[in-house]
Amino acid sequence: MGSSEFSLFQPSPKRSVLHKAPSLIADGFLFVGGASLALSVVWALLTFINPTTISFDNIIAWNAGPCGPDLRSDPPEPTFYDDENLSYAFGEPVKDWDSKRREWLKLHPSFAAGAAVDNRVLLVTGSQPTVCKNPVGDHLQLRLFKNKVDYCRIHGLDIFYNNVLLDPKGTGFWAKYPLLRAAMLAHPESEWIWWVDSDAVLTDMEFKLPLEKYKDHNLVVHGWWNMLYEQKSWTSLNAGVLLIRNCQWSLNLLDKWASMGPQGPDPKNWGKIQKSLIKDKAYPGSDDQSALIYLLIKEKSKWADKIYLESEYNLHGYWLGIVDGLDGISKGYMEIDREVDLLRRRHAEKVSLFYGQMREKYMREKGIWRENKRRPFVTHFTGCEPCSGEHNGMYTWEACWNGMQKALNFADNQVLRRFGFVHPDLLNSSWVSPLPFDFPDA
Ligand code: UDP
Ligand code: MN
């Protein structure tokens, strides 16, 4: 999209908004001050009523949770945040990140527990700064984002949506690299950053990332080693969904990766080098997927042992092979629900994962584990370009549109069920009907 459109749709920030900031901060102090005053009064009253059982510690515990992250304090000891030479932007590499992050975690023990034990994950996604050219593009972006928010709420993950170019040269699929670097610095408490392309739909709301499996790896993408080394194919892996560990190795990889794109000195030449290595590469310029394939082939000893190519489940699944099977998969899951009484039990959304685990166990025991019976974890509409509408000529826009409706409604059905409703027709996004008690056995 041209810069004229950019300026047309991006009014400069209003002064009134900027000037409001100090008063908002002051309001914040007033609120915190007021809240602690109220808390002290409650505490005084409660200790007065029953001085033996109620302590101030209990009250704080109700408020913040004794084991949860402490969101209200930041110790005065200097950390990497206080180093004026540390830059969030590409240019100067970040050094000693592992020890800097460790030091920060030591000063923030309530986060350290989460980072180590739960493998805390931050989902990062985003889209372009301007209005979509495709008239239905922004509607689709909203639904695609809602889908990720739903997943994160159910799994207790943090999410960050970005729609600015942190590096003006890094457009399109290159936009994620400066963002991933900044996200690592902004979230030292997150062990993993999970990048999910905006055009990817999470189509199994109960599936939990098997992070334990990746404990010796720093980057996870969907792919196949034999296809990579034997065929050197562009589709031997996909860079649209990736899990990257928050560590120095990853920062080095991001620097290297982005240096082959428009942020680097010679993207045109990198496009040619990639094309000569990867015969089925269609895009003429340098692209990030080819850049990763290049690194795995040409700098194998430097990177490959820390990269995990996942193919046991759809960390990325190509939409074209998935969408026609979604109705059948829904039916299969309903049959399981008919067989297992507990899976039909209505429950609060917050405890969905308990039932998800129950279903997983049942499916494994029954041998319903492989794809085409299971919900695909991620359905990626790569090539559909929902925002620009400039989809790959291999298929029609109608196929993309219908596929996206199906995948989004398929995922939404898993969410809506906890709210008592269902989309009876995956191709009709507006129509929902209430679910009867004991569905689907009713
Ligand atoms: N993207 C972004 N900012 C932009 C343009 C794109 O963050 O200005 C992201 C967006 O999430 C998009 C991804 O980059 O999904 C990669 O592009 P796309 O999905 O169109 O590539 P494809 O999967 O079709 O190869
Ligand atoms: Mn994509």
172 within ligand 1 shell (Cβ under 6 A)? yes
pLDDT at 117: 55
Q: Percent of the chain having pLDDT more than 70? A: 83
C-alpha dist (Å) from residue 228 to 219, 236, 250, 274, 293:
16, 5, 21, 14, 7
Residue 427 in any domain: the answer is: yes
198 within ligand 1 shell (Cβ under 6 A)? yes
Ligand 1 centroid–CA 151 distance in Å is 20
Ligand 2 centroid–CA 241 distance in Å is 8
**Protein residues placing their CB within 5 Å of the ion ligand 2:** 197, 199, 240, 382
Pick the atom of ligand 1 nearest to 384's CA.
24
- Range scoring the smallest mean pLDDT among 52-56, 85-89, 323-327: 52-56
Owning domain of residue 237: 80-310
Ligand whose nearest atom lies closest to the CA of 391: 1
Per residue in 6-48, pLDDT (tens digit) is 333 333 333 333 333 334 444 444 444 444 444 444 444 443 4
Whether 202 and 348 map to the same domain: the answer is no
Ligand 1 centroid–CA 110 distance in Å is 35
319 versus 44: which is more confidently predicted?
A: 319
Whether 279 and 427 map to the same domain: the answer is no
Q: What is the CATH number of the domain that holds 145?
A: 3.90.550
Ligand 1 centroid–CA 113 distance in Å is 33
Pick the atom of ligand 1 nearest to 126's CA.
7
Residue 32 in any domain: the answer is: no
Ligand 2 centroid–CA 382 distance in Å is 4
Do 127 and 198 form a contact (C-beta atoms < 8 A)? yes
Residue 5 in any domain: the answer is: no
What is the pLDDT averaged over residues 249-259?
97
Q: Is the pLDDT of residue 197 over 50?
A: yes
User: Within 10 A of 412 (CB to CB), how many other CB atoms are there?
Assistant: 22
What is the pLDDT averaged over residues 105-114?
88
197 within ligand 1 shell (Cβ under 6 A)? yes
Whether 302 and 327 map to the same domain: the answer is no
Whether 235 and 367 map to the same domain: the answer is no
Task: Indicate the top mutation candidate among 197, 234, 388 to test ligand 1's pocket, ranked by most ligand atoms within 8 A of CB.
Answer: 197
Ligand whose nearest atom lies closest to the CA of 125: 1
Per residue in 134-153, pLDDT (tens digit) is 999 999 999 999 999 999 99
What is the pLDDT averaged over residues 168-178?
96
Beta bridge partners of 122: 158, 193
- Atom 22 in ligand 1: residue holding the nearest Cα: 382
Q: Is the pLDDT of residue 442 over 90?
A: no
- Range scoring the smallest mean pLDDT among 96-105, 233-242, 369-378: 369-378
Q: Is the pLDDT of residue 228 over 90?
A: yes
Whether 148 and 242 map to the same domain: the answer is yes
- Range scoring the smallest mean pLDDT among 3-7, 141-145, 291-295: 3-7
Instruction: Choose among 188, 221, 64: nearest CA to 116.
Output: 188
Cα 233 from Cα 108, distance rounded (Å):
45
Residue 155 in any domain: the answer is: yes
Residue 439 in any domain: the answer is: no
pLDDT at 112: 84
User: What is the band of 114 on the pLDDT scale with cuts at 50, 70, 90?
Assistant: low
Ligand 2 centroid–CA 391 distance in Å is 11
pLDDT at 372: 74
Ligand 2 centroid–CA 173 distance in Å is 8
Whether 403 and 287 map to the same domain: the answer is no
Ligand 2 centroid–CA 200 distance in Å is 6
Per residue in 370-386, pLDDT (tens digit) is 657 899 999 999 999 99
C-alpha dist (Å) from residue 92 to 86, 88, 102:
8, 9, 21
Residue 222 in any domain: the answer is: yes
Whether 153 and 300 map to the same domain: the answer is yes
Residue 135 in any domain: the answer is: yes
127 within ligand 1 shell (Cβ under 6 A)? yes
What is the pLDDT averaged over residues 269-281?
98
**DSSP string covering 229-297:** III--GGGEEEEEEEEESSHHHHHHHHHHHHTSTTSS-HHHHHHHHHHH-TT---SS--HHHHHHHHHH
Whether 238 and 101 map to the same domain: the answer is yes
Whether 202 and 276 map to the same domain: the answer is yes
Report phi then psi at 309, rounded to 5.
Answer: -95, 115
Residue type, 263: Q
- Domain stops at, among 268, 289, 310: 310
285 within ligand 1 shell (Cβ under 6 A)? no
Whether 295 and 403 map to the same domain: the answer is no
- Range scoring the smallest mean pLDDT among 53-62, 106-115, 190-199, 403-412: 53-62
Mean pLDDT over each residue of the chain, to the nearest integer: 87
Task: Indicate the top mutation candidate among 165, 198, 242, 388 to test ligand 1's pocket, ranked by most ligand atoms within 8 A of CB.
Answer: 198
What is the pLDDT averaged over residues 389-394?
96
pLDDT at 386: 98
Residue 33 in any domain: the answer is: no
Report the domain count for the chain.
2
Q: Is the pLDDT of residue 231 over 70?
A: yes
Whether 286 and 352 map to the same domain: the answer is no
382 within ligand 1 shell (Cβ under 6 A)? yes
Whether 304 and 349 map to the same domain: the answer is no
User: What is the band of 69 on the pLDDT scale with cuts at 50, 70, 90?
Assistant: confident
- Atom 1 in ligand 1: residue holding the nearest Cα: 127
